[in-house]
Chains A and B, each alone.
Chain A
């Protein structure tokens, strides 16, 4: 073939390919077509299916960040739209939602996942599967359980952060509650004990004087505008089996090793003092007893400062008093931990992950023991050693 014919053929081929390719940009989604889901709630539908509620961000109503040509002042309407759909499976429910929405549902920025009580008792495997399998979702999404129905919580939009689900997300970031990420909860399904904790969220009463139209645009004056964290739900093998209240949950965080910061109120005859915990070091270890059975030893070290004198006139200048405070704090932590341990033993659910600990540290024992773990766990000796140190008193020693 002569060079000229070859060149022409090559040019023709390139042209054909170019037209084919230009005609379809298959994966293109323009920004205006996005329906960004900021929070999703899964509930059990009455007939055994799922009811999925999503909150879609409406970007045109968000407060502007200082653009020159944008609308000034407050927003024109609600910053999010809440849509529900029902179906026999999660997929069908989402399709039902999609029928009502003009654009492309976009899961890439979903911040929180709320699961209603009924759905949680049935088992959260379908939810986990959805989030793990779909390539559009994030694996590190937070899960939350709600006593009752989860859908209505998405209607709540606190005025101090938009979109409303951001409040939950930012709160969870601070790690004041045990954080249940999708992929970690999924892992727990595969362990022997199969237990996990998921924080619980509730609608709180509105702050006095705060419900009348803050900058975020709430609904009517009677709708609640606060979301509170009130403990945790206990799941075993993906099914909700019980609840922990706040104290038990805090104790569980101490025993799990995920406790971070917090404030504890201590009372003494000289007065009551609030202490803020700054740094925490927790060491968990599984040991082997003389008779070959396993035991767990947990050591907790807490460093803290005095943050507030609530009542009385305690002698904060006295080092011995500070030592007393330290001991009181240690006792308080110990108390929470005992509460959590008691709850775990009572329900025979190893949400404290002692099974994993023994498997990691004492594989020989674990080999023998893991078949019978539900029976062994409640009687497992647990030694908790707590040391607290009140190091600083802040900028003021004593006011009076």
Chain B
């Protein structure tokens, strides 16, 4: 009989789909059933684990060599464990008395749900027949990046270590810098599907306990399906939901976090994110670069003040240009005005439109440059300079002064050390330009005052955003505006570390050795006075 060729492909495909759906339903149902089921000594345990974890293909079920008359079964995911550690510690070190041998970490799993989650995090589940519960062994070894220099926050002088995506590495980076038992890392798990490990770290006794408890409360309230980046947390724990200003600082550098912790702030480390969130912050923290503290304090102060000047320029310069050239021409010195007028001959657009064209083009360039691979990036900058600088002006669309203004503003924006604040400033700039175009300088003023009022009322975990300046605190001022030398008394900010307010050790100003030959002198310097 000849084989009948019937087209069963559609039905077979449907059948396979149905089977998959059933399998999915089955997995879902199984999970819901087992999640909170206590893990006892029942013999069918292994099958349940195979069913729950077996769909992905990287589950390894192994029988460990018998110890005495007990055979332990191990379940782990090959993608998440380091098999070398496993072989060494687990298999080789099993002893008769302690089935787990000489392994570093040991947990127990009480429910099926806990056990599955731990295996998914990379631990090894050991089931010993006849014993209730399961043992979890730490053998995590998934591939991760090594410690690399920071991308956004580079310094000239200072450590070049940055956080990477592995939580344990980040914790170790912090522990190396603050070796004090009072440094606490409170664990948390967030995210329904991601089950991301989060650590809340602070220095117990130094940080304001009210702030810490508030942080704990807010973190517990974060509900998300997956925490892939710390920004998910950052947006959920801020004080003000609608502001452009960042209320939590994020940094890639462990030394910044360490300094913040000693000032009474707390930090949040998220597994899978290569930065740490630091709070509470003030506006002035976003204008401080790590460099300030690693360089000469004159240089530090000068650069800091320069940064404030750049901040003002970045926000208001295009707006001021628009306002002055269209509303208040009498303010511009005559020769400058003539030069501007000469450059503006034949330009068809009003000043606001010119500035917007240039600004938006610059934003496009910036965005494109961010996401381009390196090799294309250089050609883009050349193209950008050529296209924007020359062609647009030669075509008579935009005048040179506007190009100069926008370029200076862009550079000033880059001087803002923190990326999040720089983003906020970019947005504000457009608002100022619009206000300037409609009302001139009074418009710029009203817009700036509105921003100020908003800033004055903003809080980061209860600490006013403009803290040493707006509720005036004379001690805090010196660190916000200037960079005082390390040997001066460094009082901690009143709101952040209230317990330490009084216990400030006055620093010692460096000085050459005093005259020897007297009771307080160093005898090695006796030759200066000739005394013997």
Q: Which residues of A contact B (CB under 8 A)?
A: 21-22, 25, 27-32, 34, 36, 57, 59-60, 62, 64-65, 67-70, 106, 108-109, 111, 136, 138
Contact = CB atoms under 8 A, between A and B. Distances in A.
Given A22-B438, A67-B343, A31 B329 contact: yes
Most B CB atoms within 10 A — which of A25, A29, A36? A25
A136 B330 contact: yes
Nearest to A169: B334
B134 interface: no
A31 B350 CA distance: 9
Contacts of B326: 28-31
A108 B393 CA distance: 28
Contacts of B327: 27-29
B427 interface: no
Nearest to A22: B438
Nearest to B393: A69
B58 to A, nearest CB: 49
B347 to A, nearest CB: 7
A338 B192 CA distance: 101
B342 interface: yes
Contacts of A59: 338, 341-342, 344-345
B438 A25 contact: yes
Given A32-B346, A65-B339, A108-B329, 9 more contacts: A27-B440, A28-B326, A28-B350, A28-B440, A31-B344, A32-B347, A60-B345, A109-B337, A136-B330
A57 B394 contact: no
Nearest to B340: A31
A60 B338 CA distance: 9
A338 to B, nearest CB: 41
Contacts of B439: 25
Nearest to A138: B330
Contacts of A36: 337-338, 341
Contacts of A109: 329-330, 334, 337
A25 B437 contact: yes
Nearest to B349: A30
B400 interface: yes
Interface residues of B, number: 26
A69 B329 contact: no
Interface of B: 325-327, 329-330, 334, 337-347, 350-351, 393-394, 400, 437-440
Centre residue among A21, A32, A62, A64 by max chain B CB count within 10 A:
A32
User: Interface majority SS on B: helix, strand, loop or mixed?
Assistant: helix
Given A25-B437, A108-B330, A30 B342 contact: no
Main secondary structure of the interface of A (DSSP, over half): loop
A70 B326 CA distance: 23
A34 B342 CA distance: 11
B330 A30 contact: no
A317 B494 CA distance: 75
A30 B337 CA distance: 12
Contacts of B329: 29, 31, 34, 106, 108-109
A108 B336 CA distance: 14
A185 to B, nearest CB: 21
B130 to A, nearest CB: 61
Contacts of B440: 27-28
B259 to A, nearest CB: 42
A68 B394 CA distance: 10
Contacts of B337: 36, 109
A278 to B, nearest CB: 29
B388 to A, nearest CB: 14
A70 B394 CA distance: 9
A69 B339 CA distance: 13
16 contacts: A22-B438, A28-B350, A28-B440, A30-B325, A30-B351, A31-B344, A32-B346, A36-B337, A59-B344, A59-B345, A69-B400, A106-B329, A106-B330, A108-B329, A108-B330, A136-B330
A381 to B, nearest CB: 47
A21 B345 contact: no
Nearest to A25: B438
A105 to B, nearest CB: 12
B342 A64 contact: yes
Contacts of A65: 339
Contacts of A22: 438
Contacts of A62: 338, 342
Q: Which are the 9 A-B pairs with shortest beta-carbon distances?
A: A108-B330, A59-B341, A59-B342, A31-B344, A60-B345, A109-B334, A28-B326, A25-B438, A31-B341
